[in-house]
Amino acid sequence: MNNIATLPAAEGADTFCEGALLLPVHGVRSGEAYAVQDWVAEEVPVALEFNGISHAVMLATPLDLEDFALGFSLGEGILDAAHELYSVDIAPSDLGITVRLQVSSAAFNRLKQRRRTIAGRTGCGLCGTESLAHVSRELPVLGDATVALERQAIARAMSQFQSLQTLQQATGAVHAAAWCSAEGEVMWLREDVGRHNALDKLIGALASNDIDASTGFIAVTSRASFEMVQKTAMAAVPLLAAVSAPTSFAVATAERARLTLVGFARKDDLAVYSHPERLTTAGRELTSTSTGRRAH
């Protein structure tokens, strides 16, 4: 006897969800087995080619790939500015998606020099292991804040994420990165299964729309790795707020770039790991008023 209940499609499954596939799911709920159709986030190999040369392959959600290509190129220092990207061609295949970028001669020369440097220092060609010098590459040093950010602006931005993350609502499997105004309004948001990809997509969107990213801050739904600090600094954004923790290398990188790094940004709480002078509370500079361990 088949005692598996066939439930209606999951809530929202009757509405098309870009970036997700509707797949059969079996499970147990309240002790009863069930079968249902539900949305699962797409994850596909995405290959980036620069002027016909394959450079990197990432697993990503196949949304906003033009933004992804531009943001990745800027964050990696391949492009100095958005105008060095001439065109982007998206070519799907059975194996994944190839994103073909045509870039300026200067940008392509930088890429070739970087590839030669990596190959020479690793001794194993382009095996995917970059040199220590590249990992700790020079970053722009952010200037002093002209207008301090109110602590409550971060809480205001974080409170908007749930309603704006349409793909996360459908799948429960993706991260988001958002650029927020100094007042805490989420102005631009991108989603992806990878937290770094979401940030690349956001940075690409800001650059392609000529947004002065230095006038606001970036908030993310993940921990803050050093790569995310690095990408934020390269985009000239003065503050990165993460819902989870940073790593020690992320903190050291933020200190070096004079970037304000915030972790555990949840409701009205937060922890500032570098350059707290950019944040104010009730109009006063944020300073430590008590000691003791913070609960995770």
Active site residue 17: no
Q: What pLDDT does 114 receive? A: 78
Q: Which residues of the chain have pLDDT under 70?
A: 1-14, 116-137, 144-147, 282-283, 287-296
Residue 127: its pLDDT value, please?
Answer: 42
Q: Domain of residue 81: give its range.
A: 44-135
Rg of the chain's alpha carbons, rounded to an integer?
21
Return the CATH number at 176. Answer: 3.40.140.10
Q: Is 194:175 a contact under the CB 8 Å cutoff?
A: yes
Classify residue 295: in a domain, yes or no: no
Residues 184 and 260 placed together within one structural domain of the fold: yes
Same domain, 205 and 163: yes
* Long-range residue pairs from 286-290, CB within 8 A, at least 24 positions apart, any chain: 286/151
- The answer for 49, left when phi > 0, alpha when psi is -120 to 50, beta otherwise, is beta
Q: Is 144 part of any domain?
A: no
Using the 3D structure, point to which of 135, 158, 176 is the last residue of a domain. 135
pTM: 0.87
Residues 223 and 130 in one domain: no
* Predicted pLDDT of residue 148: 78
User: Do 164 and 130 have their domain in common?
Assistant: no
Task: Give the active site residue among 17, 124, 127, 180.
Answer: 124
**Look-up of token digits 């309603």:** 163
In a domain, 205, yes or no: yes
Q: In what order do the strands lie in the sheet with 85-92?
A: 53-60, 44-50, 97-103, 85-92
Q: Is 29 in the same domain as 78?
A: no
What's the structural domain count of the chain? 3
The reply to whether 169 and 84 lie within a common domain is: no
Residue 7, pLDDT score: 45
pLDDT for residue 287: 63
Q: Are residues 51 and 95 in the same domain?
A: yes
